Amino acid sequence: MIEEVTVLVERRNFPSGLFLEVDESIDRLLLIPRPNGQAFQQNFDDIWTSLMDANVVSIGIYGMGGVGKTTLARHVHDKLKESLRHVYWVTVSQEFSIYKLQTDIARELNPDITCENDEGKMAAKLFQEFQKKKRFVLILDDVWERIDAEKIGIPSKMDGSKLVITSRLEKVCHRMCCKKIIKVNTLSKQEALDLFLKTLDCGEPSLEVKICKKMVKRCGGLPLAIITLAGSMTGVIDIHEWKDASEGLKKSCLGRADMKDEVLPILLYSYHRLRDKRLKSCFLNCSLYPEDFRISREELIQHFMLEELMERRLSWEAEFNQGHAILNQLVRACLLETDSDGRLKMHDLIREMAIGITKDNPPRYMVKAGLHLKELPEEQKWTEDLDKVSLMDNSIEEISPGTSPKCPSLSTLILRENPLRLIADCFFTQMCGLRTLDLSETEIESLPNSISDLVKLNALVLSGCFRLVSVPSLEKLKELRYLELSFTSVEEVPQGMESLTNLKRLSLLCDRLKMIPTGTLRRLTHLQLLEWPDHLDVLMEEVETLKQLQVLRCRLNSVRDLNRLINSRRNFKPLYFYDITVGSREMVKLRKRSGPCKFLYFGENGLMESSLDTDKNMLPQDIEYLCFCSSGLSGCLLDEFPTLSSARDLKECGIMAEDKIECITRLEEEQQSRGVPFQSLKRLHLMELPNLIGLFKWEAVAAPLPRGTFSCLRWLDICGCHKIKKVFPQSLVHNFHNLEHLGVGNCAQMEEIIEDDKNEGADITLPRLKTFYLENLPQVKSICKGKMICDSIESVSLGDIKNIKEFPLYLPLLDGQLSPPSRLASIYVTGDKEWWESLEWPQHNAKNVLQRLVRFQIDGTPGMYFWNKEWNAQLIWMLRRQERGKANAKVVL
């Protein structure tokens, strides 16, 4: 203020008298009630820590509209004002312009700044003004696009200066190079209820808290909606009025007058900021799913593909990439949410907003998904201008005769996940524009003949209709591109399928399907996805002609067919996704793999008809998951499949119930010519391999193991391999430096886990090992000769390893005192407590230090603590089979 007085004195110009009017914007606080809750405090603390960090010059706060970003930033502003004079708050206009923002900032910095019409000159003035402040924090609220700080006049790297922005768009924070980005999430159930009651300002209301909880739930944890709703109920004491309000919220939360005025415009603005029409269409289509429905990314992308909402791309992979890009944009715009499993959902109010948009404006939707309807909506709801109808996940059992909605513009009808058994033949007769029909997971036994006349139909989805036995002729459906019949009971392919020359996706995973007529596939030249069941034999000559094929799920008779398929694809686009069985697959895969992948399974006798000696067994170079189960694999895995040396995408390999395999790779003089095998492998499972002698087999003159081999391996399981005597030698420990899990069990001749091949008794360091399980190893005498250093260890499980006299785990020192590894949570010991008490340790008192972590288990089923939860079921099953004397137990990934 003194500086301003000096300037005016020098000018000798006092237009308003001698006294300056204090600029309240400089010192004002943005006083608002402080929200309660752990999430708010955590976000506040994160921002405050970043503000105190000299390396963080810019902070981004993002989240959906009404979630509390501005409230959080205002409290940061007020806290800063307690110790820093130069803290400035500017709300960025939704109609953003550089000049408008410059004038708003100037007004906050110094009301006396003369505004220039030239943006460059204005930027120079602002820059000079900021430099005078030396230390300042500028908070820009509600930013919708990247702001070039230099063009505005904001110093970007000035010592002591900080920039904080709030935005609904995560990408804005990234584009403005924010060093710290914080997402503000919706409130938990308890925090939401607390905010509601606090806003009511009456403590515990004199009514049932159940009603409050129901009303608050409809707000989906959105603070703005909760405050608005609570404000409208303040002073209401009549229980009947509360119940009426609660009932009204079931139909629509945003339909209330207060919500429509206060909340809806904020949510709508996020939608209107989507400038790409395709992006808007994809967003609106997400509302076709039921409330709180969690959808996998792959399902949503395939829905976009069925609806042809995206730009057409040349390959399946390109379409999936485009789909992920669209979903990422919607997530970053906070219009979709991601859960811990990576699935997506719409916030309840966002979904209600989307349904409201499509209810009142073209293209018009009717969404009645997940409402437990037992009948179709009444006839007047089926208006002629409807574009999409979703009735999924209801309780509709029948579409009775005489039901024929007049909907000539209807393009999408979703009836999936209903106990639907009967559809009247006339139902589709007035839906001449229908392009997508989804009847999946219904109990329909046959389809009405009127489907045969839906000549504009693009997608017919019948997957999961396990009662479906017949489909009418599809000969007229020349536009059909997607036909899904998997997991139905059809015995014959639909009549006229050979005429569907535009078909891009054909899914026929039907257990009762008798055959695919010869010559059918050859005519479907546009096929990009093809799936047929394991029991069917399909001529490779026909598959080889499908030049555009990119996704394949099938069974092949022999490895010769696999070689033919691999050779044929060299002339065409590579397969983007495949799940191929060679031989037979009796077991269901237990391990789940998220998203499209490249999986090859050699089942029973899959290698019995191996190719001629002149032709090596081939594998796709881009294979990601590989499994052998009773396939006839013998000798050395790498000898059987030399191309594994160059399979750089292989992530997981399982070998089960193979009687003849002896090793994974041989170390021989010519090893160098093989390249670096298994350099990307992350998981290796070896189970029920009676002749396996080890991971490696040394020849008389052996080259060293390439350093990259197994260098990415994180998970190693060995179970039921009775000839193996060691897991790996001490000299190769460096190859396993990324190992996180090591489990060895039920190996009758195992003598030492890590062999001391150099007789040095050297220490063993596995820096990333988290879980270490040993079970049922009657001959094992040693884990390793030296100390075992595993600072990252989290869990140890030991059972029936009575010949081990010393446990070599080396404990760290904390403040000069022996201490358990910081992450170690439990040591499970199955059976003999006396054995544990007799164990020796490399450090005095180590056993006493660890005693509080020990959990003794009663003798029972071996392996109860052997594997992580994904593998418990299959391990116990295998061991029980073995105990009953059944050979060749089959467990697959």
**DSSP per-residue string spanning 667-691:** E-GGGGGG--TTSS--EEEEES-TT
Residue 304 region by backbone torsions, left for phi larger than 0, else alpha for psi between -120 and 50, else beta: alpha
Q: What is the pLDDT of residues 99-115, one digit of tens each?
A: 888 888 888 887 667 67
- Cα separation, 168 vs 64, in Å, equals 5
Provide CB contacts within 8 A for 297, sequence distance 6+: 323, 324, 327, 342, 343, 344, 595
- Give whole-number Cα distances, 193 to 63, 204, 231, 240, in Å: 20, 11, 14, 20
Name the one residue in this structure whose structure tokens are 């806003």: 199
pLDDT of the residue at 654: 93
Q: What is the mean pLDDT of residues 121-133?
A: 86
Q: Which of 81-90, 368-377, 867-876 is predicted with the least confidence, judged by mean pLDDT?
A: 867-876
CA dihedral 668, 669, 673, 677 (to 10 degrees): 30
Per-residue confidence band for 477, with pLDDT thresholds at 50, 70 and 90 = very high
Single out the residue of 365, 371, 453, 376 nearest to residue 420, CA to CA: 376
* Predicted TM-score of the model (pTM): 0.76
% residues pLDDT > 70 (the chain): 85
Tell me whether domains 189-258 and 265-361 share a fold. no
Confidence of residue 98 (pLDDT cuts 50, 70, 90): confident
- pLDDT at site 83: 84
On whether the 364-500 domain is CATH 3.80.10.10, my answer is yes
Q: What tokens does 264 get?
A: 């809806």
By the 8 A CB rule, do 745 and 776 touch? yes
CATH superfamily ID and name for 16-183: P-loop containing nucleotide triphosphate hydrolases (3.40.50.300)
Token pair of 761, please?
A: 């008794």
When the pLDDT of each residue in the chain is averaged and rounded to a whole number, the result is 84
pLDDT at residue 231 in the model: 72
Q: What is the pLDDT of residue 872?
A: 41
Q: Higher pLDDT residue, 560 or 878?
A: 560
**pLDDT in the model for residue 18:** 33
Question: Token digits for 562?
Answer: 């696999």
Angle between helix axes 223-233 and 189-200 (nearest 10 degrees) is 40
Q: How confident is the model at residue 409 (pLDDT cuts 50, 70, 90)?
A: very high
Q: Give mean pLDDT, residues 568-578.
A: 86
Which of these ranges, 124-133, 582-591, 726-735, has the smallest mean pLDDT? 582-591
Token pair for residue 824? 């170690």
Judged against a pLDDT cut of 90, whether residue 508 lies above it is answered with yes
pLDDT for 173-183, tens place per residue? Answer: 999 999 999 99
**Domain spanning 189-258, CATH class:** mainly alpha
Average pLDDT over residues 602-621: 73
Give the model confidence (pLDDT) of 838-877 as tens digits. 999 999 899 999 999 999 876 544 443 344 334 443 443 3
**pLDDT by residue (tens digit) across 221-235?**
878 777 777 776 777
Structural contact between residues 708 and 677, judged by C-beta atoms closer than 8 angstroms: no
Instruction: List pLDDT tens digits, range 440-463.
Output: 999 999 999 999 999 999 999 999
Tokens representing residue 43 in the block: 């976000």
Pairwise CA distance, residues 598 & 64, whole Å: 36
Give me the residue spans of the domains in the chain: 16-183, 189-258, 265-361, 364-500, 714-893
pLDDT of residue 611 exceeding 70: no
- Domain made up of 265-361: CATH architecture: Orthogonal Bundle (1.10)
Strand, helix or coil for residue 626? strand
